[in-house]
Amino acid sequence: MPGTEPEQAKARNRRQNRIWKHTLVLGGIGLVFTLFFAFVQPFGFLQLWLSDQLFLAAEPSPNIVVVGIDDDTLQTFGKWSEWTRDLHALAINNLTGAGA
């Protein structure tokens, strides 16, 4: 007979304890690596370099126009959010006429 029940139960408990220990050790190692990579960021320079490669400088578009609305205009026509469509249309027509 290969063993009695108490011996088999002890062997099973030892095996389960060993599995738990290995699981905890591997989990601890994983936690240490995770914290290391999260806080130390050993490859941070690589991330920055890749970001720089994705967003290379380019010539700005000549189609961009900045329109300034000064305080005098706001006093004359009221708040920007309260302007009528006619006033917006007039502004667009004036910008188009100016070559914008």
Q: What pLDDT, on a 0 to 100 scale, did the predictor assign at position 23?
A: 97
The predicted model scores a pTM of 0.45
Judgement on whether residues 9 and 44 belong to the same structural domain of the protein: yes
Identify whether residues 40 and 11 lie together within a single domain. yes
Chain segment 41-97, per-residue pLDDT in tens:
888 899 899 988 888 888 888 888 788 888 998 998 888 888 899 988 998 899 889
The pLDDT of residue 98 is above 70:
yes
Verify that 36 and 70 share a domain, yes or no. Answer: no
Same domain, 50 and 67: no
Model confidence at 3, pLDDT cuts 50, 70, 90, reads low
65 & 49 share domain: no
Per DSSP, the three-state class of 72 is: helix
For range 11-37, the mean pLDDT: 94
- Measured from the Cβ of residue 77, the count of other Cβ atoms closer than 10 Å reads 15
Structurally, how many domains does the chain consist of? 2
The phi, psi pair for 8, rounded to 5°, reads -65, -40
Regarding whether 68 and 47 lie in a shared domain, the answer is no
Task: Judge if 13 and 32 occupy the same domain.
Answer: yes
